[in-house]
Amino acid sequence: MMTSRFLLPALGALGLALLPGCPDAEGKFNDFQDDYEAIHPPTSSSSSSGTGGSCAAPAAGELDGPYVFALSASIDPPNPVLFDAQLTTTDGASGLEMSFVLHALDAKDRMTKVGESIPLGPFAVAADGTFEADFPPLAVVGVANPISGSDLEADVAISGTVCGAGGLVCGALNGSVTKPADIALDGSAFAFEPLDAPGSYPAQPTLNCNGDLAKPLGM
C-alpha cells in the first residue's frame, strides 16, 4: 500500500485555502471545505477516482509519448493542476517500468510551461497493468495553482492502470499539501491524457477514469 506523498500542486486545488496575505490560511481552508462539502456531499472513491478495470500490461515503448497530466484534488475536482508530461516505458529487471517527466502549465491558459521540469520514476507496472507510484516531495509554482496562485509543496502517491497505446492512464491520488499549510488530498484523482502532438493540449483535460472534464477557463 502506498504511503501518501505527492507534487505539483495546488496541484488541483491543492492551494484552495492558501490565499496570499492570509495569516490563517489553514483556518480559511477549513471554512471553505465545510461550505463546499455542505453543498457537494462526498461521493464514493469509485465514482470520483476509480482506477478502472485491470488489463494486460502493454509492451515497452507502446505507451511512450506526450500527455497532459491532470491532478484533480478532491476539494475542487473541476479545477486541476495541469502538467505537460512525457511518458516513457522500458523493460526492467522485474517487468515493465514507467517514468514521467512533468512540467507544470500556467493555470491562466493551460498551455504555457512554467517552473522547472520534474523527472519521476521509474515505477513498476504489474502484469495486469496496475501500478503504484510514490512521488518524492514536489513543489509547484504559484502560477500553476488555479485557485489562489500560491506556491505549493505536496507529498503524494498515485495508483492506477495502463492498458495500451492511445488510452487514458488514470486512477487515484492520495497524500497532502505540506506548505503553506497541511491539507489532506486523499480521495483525489489523476489522469494522463495522450496528446495527438506535443503541446496540443485539450481545452478541457480529462480528470479521472470516469472521463469527467475540467471546468472551462474563465468559469
Spatial separation of the C-alpha atoms in residues 178 and 197, rounded to whole Å = 34
CB of 194 within 8 A of CB of 68? Answer: no
CA 27, chain centre distance (Å): 25
User: If you write DSSP's letter for every residue of 102-135 in order, what string do you get?
Assistant: EEEB-TTTS-SB-S--EEEEEEEB-TTSEEEEEP
Structural domains for the chain: 26-35+59-194 (2.40.128)
pTM of the model: 0.77
What pLDDT shows up at residue 66? 97
Q: What is the DSSP letter of 46?
A: H
Cβ-based neighbours of 54, under 8 Å, separated by 6 or more: 128, 129, 130, 161
* pLDDT in the model for residue 9: 37
Nearest-5° Cα angle at 17, 48 to 40? 35
Q: Mean pLDDT, consecutive 10-residue segments, the chain of 219 residues?
A: 39 39 45 43 40 77 96 90 97 93 97 96 94 93 88 94 85 92 91 95 96 91
Q: How far apart are CA 118 and CA 161, in angstroms?
A: 22
- Per the structure block, which three cell numbers stand in for 180? 503553506
The predicted structure's pLDDT at residue 28? 42
* Geometric angle at alpha carbon 77, from 151 and 31, rounded to 5°: 70
